[in-house]
Amino acid sequence: MQMNASYTSFVAVGDSFTEGMSDGLPDGSYRGWADLLAARLATREPDFRYANLAVRGKLIGQIVEDQVGTAAAMGADVVTLVGGLNDALRPKVDMGRVRGHLEEAVERLAPACGQLVLMRSPGRNGPVMERFRPRMEELFAVIEELAARHGALVVDLYGAPVLGDPRLWDVDRLHLNAEGHRRVAEAVWQALGLPAAEDWRAALAPGRPAGWTVRRTEDLRFARQHLLPWIGRRLTGRSSGDGRPAKRPDLLPFS
């Protein structure tokens, strides 16, 4: 991309990663990397417009059904698509079906926008990451292939070790915290050819490890508040996004 390129509209498509599930605002809404990116883009273009169609918990098939057609019709300068990871983290998944949905999404979005942006999503270091790493890497290989075929950009968050640092993740251990979202926004900003404000890949300063008691207390709180409800939804076929609308369903001036 050319430096100092002009982008007057941005549509974000995906699941909770793009909705922005941390850094809650006083009104109960969330401010994620897409919101931060939109705010920066709006400073460059007085008529800038932004829509965020992402909804937490959505599988890639649901993203295609509920969001892709709407996003394509908006004809934005930039569209970001991040999806498929919720599928890959399920106990059972048909990765061939995931690939098919991703192909459909990219084939519909790429010709309908100025620049399509895909991502290799980050993953917090730990045993869960190791268990699902083969599926994630299979998913990311498909993303790379589709990007090359359709002229999309790929932001490689997975390949940035700093985004595996637990200090960049929220207490639910599934979503980035404010600092993590800020770095992702910077990564997409730079991928779009805009002047870098910082090195988003820079490692955090060494920290003092928490003591055993603190770690066990955090583990128990995580299990009670986040892990057990997540398992309950999986067992009952429910999703955290059931019945939830997109927070910015229309391509409107940023505010």
Which range among 25-34, 49-58, 198-207, 232-241 shows the weakest confidence by mean pLDDT? 232-241
Pair of tokens at residue 3: 């430096």
Q: Is the pLDDT of residue 172 over 90?
A: no
* Tens-place pLDDT, residues 113-169: 999 999 999 987 776 667 888 999 999 999 999 999 999 999 999 999 999 998 998
At residue 193 the predicted structure's pLDDT band, cuts being 50, 70 and 90, is very high
Which pLDDT value is given to residue 174? 79
d(CA 142, CA 67): 20
Tell me the pLDDT band of 230, cut-offs 50, 70 and 90.
low
Query: What does DSSP assign to residue 24?
Result: B
Q: How many CB atoms lie within 10 A of CB 248?
A: 21
* Beta-strand pair 78-82/248-253: unpaired
CA separation (Å) from 152 to 19, 46, 111, 186, 237? 21, 26, 10, 18, 33
Sheet with 49-52, strands from edge to edge, namely 153-156, 115-120, 78-82, 9-14, 49-52, 248-253
Averaged pLDDT, 239-253: 82
pLDDT for the residue 72 = 98
Sequence ranges of the domains in the chain: 9-194, 211-240
DSSP class of residue 167?
G
Q: How confident is the model at residue 107 (pLDDT cuts 50, 70, 90)?
A: very high
As a whole number of angstroms, the distance between CA 151 and CA 112 comes to 12
Dig out the tokens for 103 from the structure. Answer: 């192909």
Distance CA 170, CA 172 (A): 5
How far apart (Å, rounded) are the C-alpha atoms in residues 79 and 192? 11
Contact 123, 129 (CB under 8 A): yes
Separation of alpha carbons 173 and 167, rounded Å: 10
Q: What is the mean pLDDT of the chain?
A: 86
CA distance 58 to 69: 15
Residue 242 in this model has a pLDDT that exceeds 80: no
CATH architecture of 9-194: 3-Layer(aba) Sandwich (3.40)
Residue 65 has pLDDT above 90, yes or no: yes
Alpha carbons within 13 angstroms on the beta-carbon side of residue 28 total 1
What percent of the chain has pLDDT above 70?
Answer: 78
For 69-73, what is the mean pLDDT?
A: 98
Residue found under tokens 């790429």: 110
| 179 token code pair | 């600092």
Nearest to 125 by CA among 160, 93, 81, 87: 160
